[in-house]
Amino acid sequence: MSGLTHLDAQGRAHMVDVSEKAPTTREATAEAVIEMAPATLALLREGAPKGDVLAVARIAAIQATKETSRLIPLCHPLPLSKVSVSLEAEEAGPTGAQVRVQVTARCTGPTGVEMEALTGASVGALTLYDMLKAVDRGMRFTTQLLSKSGGRSGEWRRGPG
């Protein structure tokens, strides 16, 4: 693992200079999994009182990818060329249920889109929490990068487990 690129030689935070990097097509996919009670998932499928929860979460995830550089201090603003969001509700065993929020972001530029995908997936899950919290405050979620491509470091995919 290389050094931390967002710190200078004196340990001060700075935005990495990407002006000399060649633009390449870059893509990243991240996933947030929000766990909830089975009754919450049933309510989500039937139609929650606040409306189409999944549609709102999809729009929130897309908007969040576009706002990443405003939310994460050292991220570069990127001209995204694609954002796709997949939301899958599923039973997760006898005591739980979950919704998978997968976000893929793509651009042609000098730096990657991992943070955009991660931010979109996280905000999608946060939106689900916000809209369902009246019936289930015990929900929780995890977010992880699934894959990235492009740039000097090339392809990366999360392995099993």
E strand intervals along the chain: 24-36, 80-91, 97-109, 140-149, 156-157
How confident is the model at residue 1, as a pLDDT? 39
- In the set 8, 17, 52, 130, the catalytic residue is 130
Q: Which helix (H) or strand (E) segment is 152 a member of?
A: none
Which residues have a Cβ under 8 Å from the Cβ of 148 and sit 6 or more positions away?
26, 27, 28, 29, 112, 113, 114, 155, 156
Closest to 146 (Cα-Cα) out of 107, 103, 116, 108:
103
130 annotated active-site: yes
The domain spans of the chain are: 31-149
Nearest to 113 by CA among 123, 103, 122: 103
The single-letter code of the amino acid at 121 is: A
Which strand (E) or helix (H) includes residue 104?
strand 97-109
Which pTM was predicted?
0.90
Contact partners, residue 150, CB within 8 Å, separation at least 6 = 24, 25, 26, 27, 112
Per-residue pLDDT of the chain (161 residues; tens, 9 = 90+): 357 788 788 888 888 888 888 899 999 999 999 999 999 999 998 876 667 999 999 999 999 999 999 999 999 999 999 999 999 999 876 668 999 999 999 999 999 999 999 999 999 999 999 999 999 999 999 999 999 999 888 999 998 86
pLDDT, residue 7, reads 79
- Predicted confidence at residue 2, as pLDDT, reads 55
What does the alpha-carbon distance between residue 33 and residue 31 come to, in Å, rounded to a whole number? 6
31-149 folds as: Alpha-Beta Plaits (3.30.70)
